[in-house]
Amino acid sequence: MTLIPLGIPRRLLEFTIDGEPVRAPEGSTILDACRSVGKDVPTLCQGDTLTPKNACRVCVVEVEGARTLVPACSRKAEAGMQVQTDTERARHSRKIVLELLASSVDLSTTPEVAGWLKEYEAKPDRFGPDAARLNEEPKIDNDLYVRDYDKCILCYKCVDACGDQWQNTFAISVVGRGFDARIAVEHDAPLTDSACVYCGNCIEVCPTGALSFKSEFDMRAAGTWDEPAQTETTTVCAYCGVGCNLTLHVQDNEIVKVTSPHDNPVTHGNLCIKGRFGYQHVQNRD
């Protein structure tokens, strides 16, 4: 669906990216402008439905006159700005960020990261096997979703989606400091004893697969998860009158997970437990 945003027209700012003149509406980030002209800047903690947290710094670019590298995902574009996305300094910084993350966290289910590691010649192995931040079994304490914190980069997206940016449930938070920092529910209880309402909006925003549908987790473990073979069909949830859009991900004639389009003006990618996980009744053939 193509959305045409309504509102007061915004002034167009003129500036340059890698020496090329660009124009972007006032309020755009450098990342928005880069994407509008087809420039690829890696991102991890950025989310198109969330306020930037600047947690990962993999998106840094150089701005003429700025003392430090700036995160493209949050820095607003300004008229006359001269942005360089691919300088040696920016590339070196991305390489270090990727090495630190990939040496301490399991990024095996993070989309695109393998390509970035190659592109920036990152060598996470140089830190050795002791660099792993955690080493624990995935938390499988309910039938709907799995928390595998060995894959968590502490980007805060799930906390923001569960908290004041979308769900307002506040079931999860960052606990501990430094190397002991981690995402947890109150008293590190099982999810079933927490305030979680199983909307799954945290899964929707998690960039690494640390939070995943139980169906996806089980299929990955069995070696049957085959994303290229899946189809996506967007339909309307029939459980109540809100009319949320659901995107059904189907593999071998079975719905394997449900998401919602991020540009949908009703859901902005969010759902409730019925829309997100109620699909099992569709294929219950018992």
240 binds, among ligand SF4, ligand FES, none (CB under 5 to 8 A by kind): ligand SF4
24 binds, among ligand SF4, ligand FES, none (CB under 5 to 8 A by kind): none
Chain residues in the site for ligand SF4 (CB under 6 A) = 152-158, 183, 205-208, 210-211, 237, 239-240, 242-244, 271-272, 274-275
Q: What is the closest distance, in whole angstroms, from the C-beta atom of residue 133 to ligand SF4 in the complex?
A: 11
183 binds, among ligand SF4, ligand FES, none (CB under 5 to 8 A by kind): ligand SF4
| Number of CB atoms found within 10 A of residue 282's CB | 10
- Do residues 268 and 259 lie in contact, with contact meaning Cβ atoms separated by under 8 Å? no
Helices assigned H by DSSP within 64-153: 88-104, 113-119
User: Looking only at residues 88 through 147 of this chain, which bind ligand FES when binding is defined by CB under 6 A?
Assistant: none
Q: What is the closest distance, in whole angstroms, from the C-beta atom of residue 208 to ligand SF4 in the complex?
A: 5
**Rounded distance between C-alpha atoms, residue 230 and residue 248, angstroms:** 10
Q: In 3D, which of 276, 264, 138 has the Cα closest to residue 200?
A: 276
Q: In 3D, which of 235, 201, 237 has the Cα closest to residue 1?
A: 235
259 binds ligand FES (CB under 6 A): no
Per-residue b/e over 201-223, b at no fewer than 16 CB within 10 Å? bbbbbbbbbbbbbebbbebeeee
At 265, phi and psi to the nearest 5? -70, -15
**Rounded distance between C-alpha atoms, residue 89 and residue 21, angstroms:** 22
Question: In Å, what is the CA distance from 5 to each residue of 9, 41, 261, 263?
Answer: 10, 25, 16, 10
Q: What is the closest distance, in whole angstroms, from the C-beta atom of residue 24 to ligand SF4 in the complex?
A: 28
Three-state secondary-structure class, residue 167: coil
71 binds, among ligand SF4, ligand FES, none (CB under 5 to 8 A by kind): ligand FES
Residues linked to residue 16 through DSSP beta bridges, in sequence order: 21, 82
Q: What is the closest distance, in whole angstroms, from the C-beta atom of residue 232 to ligand FES in the complex?
A: 25
22 binds, among ligand FES, ligand SF4, none (CB under 5 to 8 A by kind): none
Q: In 3D, which of 107, 106, 98 has the Cα closest to residue 134?
A: 106
Kindly determine how many residues on this chain lie close enough to bind ligand FES according to the rule CB under 6 A. 12
| Number of CB atoms found within 10 A of residue 50's CB | 19
Comparison of 77 and 200: residue with beta carbon closer to ligand SF4: 200
Comparison of 71 and 275: residue with beta carbon closer to ligand FES: 71
46 binds, among ligand FES, ligand SF4, none (CB under 5 to 8 A by kind): ligand FES
User: Looking only at residues 37 through 76 of this chain, which bind ligand FES when binding is defined by CB under 6 A?
Assistant: 43-46, 54-59, 71, 73
Q: What is the closest distance, in whole angstroms, from the C-beta atom of residue 93 to ligand SF4 in the complex?
A: 20
Q: What is the closest distance, in whole angstroms, from the C-beta atom of residue 141 to ligand FES in the complex?
A: 29
61 binds, among ligand SF4, ligand FES, none (CB under 5 to 8 A by kind): none
List of residues contacting ligand FES (CB under 6 A): 43-46, 54-59, 71, 73
